[in-house]
Every structure is written in C-alpha cells, then in structure tokens.
Amino acid sequence: MFFANIPFHNNALSLTRLFICLKIYRMKSAFRSLSVIILFLSSVNLKSQDCANEMDRVYGLDPLLYNGKLYSYFLPSGTGGNQFLSSGEFIKGDVVIRGVRYTDISLNYDIYNQQLLLQYVNETGALSIVEVSMAWLESFRLGDLEFRCLNPGNGQRFYQVLGDGPLFILYHWNKDLKLGATYGNKNFIFTPAIKFKYVLTGENIRSFRGKRSLISITGQGHKQEIKNYIHVNRIKMKDASDETMTGLINYISNFK
C-alpha cells in the first residue's frame, strides 16, 4: 500500500506529511489516467491513418473517381467479338462526377454489361480496371463521342448525345451474346452493336425509328420544312452519320 510506511502521530508535522502524500498520490493517479487516454487516442489516430493509407492504396488519391469495384468480366475461350462499343482498346476521355470533370483518363465502354471502365496504373505499377460508379456519374466523353447518364423512368442508362439543344438525338447502345449460327457450334459470339434511337425534349425521352416518327415527335408546325431538309440532304436514318444527325436535330431545334 501507498501509505504503509507513513508514521501516524498526533502532531501537526505528521498531518502535514499525510496531506502532502495524498496530493502526490492523487497527482500520480491523474498522470497515469492521462497517459492511458493519450495512448488510446494515439492508437486510434494511428489506426485511422493506416485505414486512410489503405484506402489510398486501393482506390487512388481521389475516391470520387476511383470508388468502383474491380472489373472482372471474363469471356469463355472461343467467344467471338467483344463486349465493347468498338474494341477492347482503352482511349483517352473525360468524366464528370458530381460536377467535377476529370480529363485525359483512359476509358472504355462495355455496352453488353452497361459499364463505364477506367484503366489506371495502381501502386504496384500494374494496370488496373475499375467500373466507374453510376451513383454520381453525370456524363463522359469517349474519344469524340459524348454520353450522358440519364434516368427516363425505366432506370439509369448511358446515352450518346447529339446536338446543341434544346432538342437532342440520343443513342442507347447494346449487344447480345448468342450461340454461333454454324451447326454444332458450341462457342458464343457477340452481335454487332445495336443502336436504339430517341429524342430528348426537355425532360422527356421518346423513341423513334425513321424519319416519319422523328418528324411526328419534333415537327409540330414545321413538318414540311423538316421533310425538305431530309430530302435535300439525302438523309437515311438507318445509316446516317453522327455529323448528319447532329445537323438535322440542330436544324429542327431552330424552330423551338
């Protein structure tokens, strides 16, 4: 015990010593408690730093961009074609996430799984591919193609966007994976990219197939002018280029 060797006599000197010892004891106890608290806080801080460093190693310095899961779609041997909009090659592009634009990054678009992919060099120097999260994704540019992430009421989707507004042409791209057409073929093959066509008017997205349905949606009061524009420019909706369709929708927008 702390007081084991303290002599107790009924005199002022002994009481004074007792009070001094009590103060020393309380000070030592308080110091021990403070030391324990400081040690605990330091340990928590170190663990938090370790956790943050681990997050940096896994997701990169900006979790707003690198917060997707690792891309792990592997194709069976012998599968024909690919799941991408054009090829498996990553190209330079931009993304906008929560109003922040990230430029000059390597992207590709898996239209079969509807995933935007980001390729980067991880902390070991190896290439990693992650799926860019759609939670806050607003738009992206893949080469010369512009895309928006929209939710027209049937779920969030990627749409290629043509036009300067207020009307826009939208393309939604997809592919199917089918068994090869040759008899006895056990290998699967991706179809060519399938394009679904829409017009964006304000907040409404309406599908169209050819010039009649496009004019019906957009040509109120100006149907003849639009027909003449299509005829003079020999526009065929099935195989019209992006530049041609951009010019058409910009012409129609002049009437709005």
- pLDDT at residue 68 in the model: 79
Question: Is residue 2 domain-resident?
Answer: no
Question: Is residue 41 domain-resident?
Answer: yes
Residues 215 and 224: their CA atoms lie apart, in Å, by 9
- pLDDT at residue 75 in the model: 85
Q: What are phi and psi of 49, to 5 degrees?
A: -65, -40
CB atoms within 10 A of CB 213: 15
At 41, is the pLDDT very low, low, confident or very high (cuts 50, 70, 90)? very low
One domain for residues 51 and 175: no
Query: Across residues 13-29, what is the average pLDDT?
Result: 50
Determine contact, residues 117/108, Cβ cutoff 8 Å: yes
Query: Across residues 192-206, what is the average pLDDT?
Result: 94
DSSP character string of 18-85: HHHHHHHHHHHHHHHHHHHHHHHHHHHHHHHHHHHHHHHHHH-S-TTTS-SPBP---PPTT-BS-SBS
Residue % of the chain over a pLDDT of 90: 56
Question: Is residue 74 domain-resident?
Answer: no
One domain for residues 135 and 175: yes
Question: Is residue 83 domain-resident?
Answer: no
Does the pLDDT of residue 242 top 50, yes or no? Answer: yes
One domain for residues 41 and 124: no
Query: Across residues 111-135, what is the average pLDDT?
Result: 91
One domain for residues 52 and 96: no
Residue % of the chain over a pLDDT of 70: 74
Does the pLDDT of residue 221 top 80, yes or no? Answer: yes
Question: Is residue 82 domain-resident?
Answer: no
Q: What are phi and psi of 22, to 5 degrees?
A: -60, -45
One domain for residues 155 and 50: no
The average confidence (pLDDT) of the chain is 81
Number of domains in the chain: 2
pTM of the model: 0.74
Does the pLDDT of residue 125 top 90, yes or no? Answer: no
Question: Is residue 181 domain-resident?
Answer: yes
One domain for residues 230 and 110: yes
Which range marks the domain in which residue 243 is found? 91-253
Structure confidence by residue, pLDDT tens digits, 46-59: 333 343 344 344 43
One domain for residues 102 and 20: no
Question: Is residue 78 domain-resident?
Answer: no
Does the pLDDT of residue 142 top 80, yes or no? Answer: yes
Residues 190 and 246: their CA atoms lie apart, in Å, by 28
Positive or negative CA dihedral for 134, 140, 142, 145? positive
One domain for residues 142 and 218: yes
Question: Is residue 65 domain-resident?
Answer: no
One domain for residues 11 and 52: yes
Taking each helix axis as running N to C, give the angle between helix 223-232 and helix 211-218, from 0 to 180 degrees, rounded to the nearest 10.
140
